[in-house]
């Protein structure tokens, strides 16, 4: 079986496939148009998120039996079309859930203790102790939306902090020793912190908007290590200005990667300009799931799933 790798990953992925009898081919740079011309030759595809694997692409991939998405989010693959064409799709949230849980925790503790602001101040010779008095997680209520691999991982990390962890999820029966399932309304009335752990779907796109934020009873902190399109930045900035949102840790943004570069030129939308100036906002470039360890684990998980289901 010929497998085409469209993005680079840990070497363990290719070596496991090779040991299992697959032939690896690599193209990390060609455009989608050029890949379209050769994709009918391959039995398997390994992707991260370089370009969307849409209907046109899947229809051209006449021999394709499986796609391994070396990551958690599958929004870049047209899953309905893949299913109709009997192309199996695998993702690997087991590989980066721990990384995401740790990153979310790091962001929350940093925000509670003003670490990004305090660091800049000290470097500039400013020594403000009262202004940098922090908050403790003990006794707070952390509300998670989405209780899959990522949400559960964050809840597990939080279990040592003597805080209350509640979650809202469309599926019932997910409650465990680390978190209690509640309705969205209950979450909005109790939470001191909101952390998102949902995939990008039509339901979650634009979910955190003006009306949703207004539904929270108390001012709260927002952590987003999931998908940027879930949060309307203009509405978040308004809430940060009014104090309804006390701080935000954002690993993902409504616009990212190539489109994000334009945020730094004069075309940058005003809300983004404001967001980048706020010292109660902590940003990272979509790396919550990208650790040294998760690079290996993601690759291992995908290779194992492919070999198990499509072994030669």
Task: Please give the residue ranges that form the binding site for ligand 3PG (CB under 6 A).
Answer: 48-49, 71-73, 96, 286, 289
Residues 248 and 108: their CA atoms lie apart, in Å, by 8
Question: Among this protein's residues, is 286 annotated catalytic?
Answer: yes
* Least Cβ distance, residue 73 to ligand 3PG (angstroms): 3
**Catalytic position from the list 117, 227, 254, 310:** 227
For residues 188 and 213, give the distance between their C-alpha atoms in angstroms, rounded to a whole number.
Answer: 9
| Annotated catalytic residue 227 | yes
Q: CA 269, CA 301: separation in Å to the nearest integer? A: 39
The least distance separating ligand 3PG from the CB of residue 143, rounded to whole angstroms, comes to 22
Residues 94, 121, 256, 300: which is the catalytic one?
Answer: 256
Nearer to ligand 3PG, 96 or 224 (CB): 96
| Listed residue (2, 91, 14, 93) closest to 53, CA to CA | 91
Identity of the residue, 214 or 287, whose beta carbon is nearer to ligand 3PG in the bound complex: 287
Question: What is the nearest approach in angstroms of ligand 3PG to the Cβ of residue 106?
Answer: 16
- Catalytic residue of the set 25, 48, 50, 286: 286
Short-list 195, 153, 197, CA closest to 171: 197
Catalytic residue at 256? yes
What is the closest distance, in whole angstroms, from the C-beta atom of residue 263 to ligand 3PG in the complex?
18
Nearer to ligand 3PG, 49 or 190 (CB): 49
DSSP category for residue 289: T
- Residue 147 or residue 220: which is nearer to ligand 3PG going by CB? 147
Dihedral over alpha carbons 78, 80, 82, 84 (to 10 degrees): -150
32: Cα separation from own chain's centroid: 24
Cα–Cα distance, 150 to 224 (Å, whole number): 11
Active site residues: 227, 256, 286
């Amino acid at each position: 079986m010929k497998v085409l790798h469209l993005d680079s990953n840990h070497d363990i992925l290719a070596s496991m496939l090779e040991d299992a009898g697959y032939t690896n081919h690599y193209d990390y740079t060609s455009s989608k148009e050029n890949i379209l011309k050769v994709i009918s030759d391959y039995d398997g595809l390994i992707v991260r998120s370089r370009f969307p694997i849409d209907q046109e692409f899947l229809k051209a991939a006449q021999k394709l039996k499986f796609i391994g998405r070396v990551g958690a989010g599958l929004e870049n693959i047209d899953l309905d079309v893949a299913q109709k064409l009997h192309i199996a799709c695998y993702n690997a949230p087991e590989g980066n859930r721990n990384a995401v849980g740790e990153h979310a925790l790091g962001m929350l503790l940093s925000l509670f203790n003003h670490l990004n602001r305090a660091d800049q101040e000290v470097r500039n010779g400013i020594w403000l102790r009262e202004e940098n008095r922090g908050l403790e997680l003990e006794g707070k209520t952390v509300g998670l939306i989405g209780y899959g691999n990522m949400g559960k991982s964050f809840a597990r990390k939080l279990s040592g902090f003597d805080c209350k962890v509640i979650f809202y999820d469309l599926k019932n029966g997910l409650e465990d020793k680390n978190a209690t399932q509640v309705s969205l309304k209950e979450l909005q009335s109790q939470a001191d912190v909101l952390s998102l752990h949902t995939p990008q779907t039509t339901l979650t796109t634009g979910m955190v908007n003006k009306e949703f934020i207004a539904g929270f009873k108390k001012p709260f902190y927002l952590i987003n290590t999931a998908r940027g399109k879930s949060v309307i930045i203009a509405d978040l900035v308004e809430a940060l200005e009014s104090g309804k949102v006390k701080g935000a840790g954002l690993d993902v943004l409504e616009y990212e990667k190539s489109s994000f570069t334009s945020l730094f030129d004069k075309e940058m939308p005003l809300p983004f300009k404001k967001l980048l100036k706020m010292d109660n906002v902590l940003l990272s470039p979509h790396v919550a799931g990208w650790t040294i360890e998760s690079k290996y684990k993601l690759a291992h998980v995908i290779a194992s799933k492919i070999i198990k289901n499509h072994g030669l």
